[in-house]
Amino acid sequence: TAGGIQALRNWGDVESFKQVVYPSPHYIQSLKTSTPIAEHVHVDFELWGCPIDKGQLLRVITDLLAGVHPRLPAESVCLECKRHENVCVMVAKGLACLGPVT
């Protein structure tokens, strides 16, 4: 996934995060931004959401174990919020969306 919790580092001061989280922050190195893994390596399947949907993960694993090409939903979890008429916190408030956790 390309957003959610790992993308929060794009919106804050990484140095201050490291000072709070790690006992020896000088050992921690990080990239300038959080990016989707697909920008760095070939990705066969991508499950949207943070956290991803358990049912989707189980379907993909089951299909792969059965030798079947997984059928992934053609929509993101964002559409679930729209169906329930939830306000998009990313658009409306500029806050990171954590999927169902939000």
pLDDT, tens digit, for every residue of 8-53? 778 778 888 889 989 999 998 888 888 888 888 998 877 776 677 7
Q: Residue 102: its pLDDT value, please? A: 59
Contact 47, 77 (CB under 8 A): no
pLDDT, tens digit, for every residue of 61-85? 999 999 998 877 666 667 777 788 8
- Read off the pTM: 0.49
Q: Confidence class of residue 3 from pLDDT cuts 50, 70 and 90?
A: low
d(CA 88, CA 81): 7
Contact 100, 6 (CB under 8 A): no
To the nearest 10°, report the CA torsion of 44, 49, 50, 53. -90
Contact 99, 92 (CB under 8 A): no
